[in-house]
Amino acid sequence: VMIQLKHDVDPGHGTGTKAVLGLDLNKAFDNVSHEAILNNLSEIGPGVGTFRYIRSFLEGRTAEISIGDIKSDSFALGGKGTPQGSVLSPFLFNIALIKIPPRMEEIPGLKHTFYADDITLWVTRGSDAHLEETLQQAVNIVEELAGEAGLSCSQPKPGRNG
């Protein structure tokens, strides 16, 4: 991915304006909607047994807090988030966002990558206005579909570009 991005935006490879935009989904693994995971999984059709296993894995999760010998009462975690450290969590997160890549493919001239909760978008051809319009179209789609999964893009941090 990094090699492709470097090749596409390196000033030595072609002339003209190029634009890269990095998006980060805010607390993505903590906030991803179980409903979005299960709805998208259902559309894929993994089979009844697999679907039931994943639904059971997500539903009824509880936690407790302990400090030394003191433990809180158990509390429900609700209908969002995937278990930290679980090998299934990245897979389930990808299922929740499975509709984004095909929509990115529909945008002429846009290239993209996903790595966990980081999305990189870039455009290497066209006027400044075209680059901005293309990236904005992609951002709108990401915000819409991420929102359906209970997620939002993080605000840029001071001192950082993007």
Q: Tell whether the model's pLDDT for residue 2 goes beyond 80.
A: no
pTM of the model: 0.79
Question: What is the pLDDT at residue 60?
Answer: 81
Residue 6, pLDDT > 70, answer: no
Burial of 99 (0-12, 13-18, 19+ CB in 10 A): middle
| pLDDT average, residue stretch 25-48 | 94
Q: What is the mean pLDDT of the chain?
A: 86
Distance CA 147, CA 89 (A): 19
Nearest C-alpha neighbor of 89 from the set 47, 131, 117, 126: 117
Residue written as token pair 């990808």: 94
Domains of the chain (ranges; CATH) run 2-29+97-148 (3.30.70), 30-95 (no CATH)
pLDDT-based confidence at 116, cuts 50/70/90?
confident
Q: Is the pLDDT of residue 150 over 80?
A: yes
